[in-house]
Amino acid sequence: MDIIFYHPTFDTQYWLKALLTALPGARVREWKRGDNQPADYALVWHPPVEMLQGRDLKAVFALGAGVDSILSKLKAHPDMLADNIPLFRLEDTGMGEQMQEYAVSQVLHWFRRFDDYQALKQQARWEPLTDYQREDFTIGILGAGVLGSKVAEALAPWGFPLRCWSRTRKDYPGITSFAGADELSPFLQGTRVLINLLPNTAETVGIINRGLLNQLADNSYVMNLARGVHLVEADLLKALESGKLKGAMLDVYSKEPLPPESPLWAHPRVAMTPHVAAVTRPAEAVSYIARTITHLEQGESVTGRVDRQRGY
């Protein structure tokens, strides 16, 4: 079994050694330009077209939860990857836990009004504030896949009203499920905290725009943990300035790294992190990939395969 590996920033030697340990007998190599030798599996992130083009692979594994970089290249180069070659994404591999930590900590930060107290601190004002009530702090999660369900699961014990919106209806305990375009508006009505965990598809690009934000509860909050293309940043800033939104927590942006001239940097009610909400944990990712390859080799069923038409 031959495996080729490419990632522009990962510690390649760690991955090669870990894969050899997890898959004894496999031949694992770093792909470099000009390498046209046969391979059975490819492990990639933002792969050059020539790495995959024309290869008769058993499967391709994207080294992250998103596959939009591969799918966007496929649109421009349809022959990069044959239709019959399965494409897999990392389903969780520690990302769910990281998203839980991020979302819960920020929701509690807003609920306990720590953003307001920080603003008062800047003015040297000692002023106890009225507590928010849980029943008035409805949390809506856009996207109810693996990561969305994990975040909802972590928030449930805190007693906030929880709802989710996705392409198809979900049956998660204690969570009100909305599905499809017709139910997006009812989902937004009364939502105080909007957490975005949608996949990046043609239908979801720019979905968090002026029209959507105006349907949220007054003095609401937005947390974007999915992709920068989901959010129209200019509309977010206008909603903050109008008072419709009270705050935003952003981990992803329309351009990354975020340009120094972006007005997001200076806005006092926008908190930011540099696309670190959930990163690939190598040990857990290697374990998932090795297990999946083993099942594929044995003809057993697996999970994590991407539906290229849906985009996730």
For 242, counting Cβ atoms within 10 Å of its Cβ (0-12 exposed, 13-18 middle, 19+ buried), the class is: exposed
Question: Which tokens belong to 97?
Answer: 């836990």
SS3 assignment, position 164: strand
Instruction: Specify the 3-state DSSP secondary structure of 2.
Output: strand
The token pair that represents 15 in the structure block: 């991955």
Pair 289, 5: CB distance under 8 Å: no
55 is catalytic: no
Q: Which of 55, 167, 227, 230 is catalytic?
A: 227
DSSP one-letter string for 203-247? TTTT-BSHHHHTTSPTTEEEEE-S-GGGB-HHHHHHHHHHTSEEE
Q: Which amino acid is at 216?
A: L
**Catalytic position from the list 275, 281, 305, 308:** 275
Q: Do 208 and 230 touch, CB atoms closer than 8 A?
A: yes
Is 77 catalytic? The answer is no
Paired residues of 5 in beta bridges: 30, 43
Residue type, 199: P
The amino acid at 309: Q
Helix, strand, coil percent content, the chain, rounded in steps of 5: 35, 15, 50
Question: Which active-site residues does the annotation give?
Answer: 227, 275
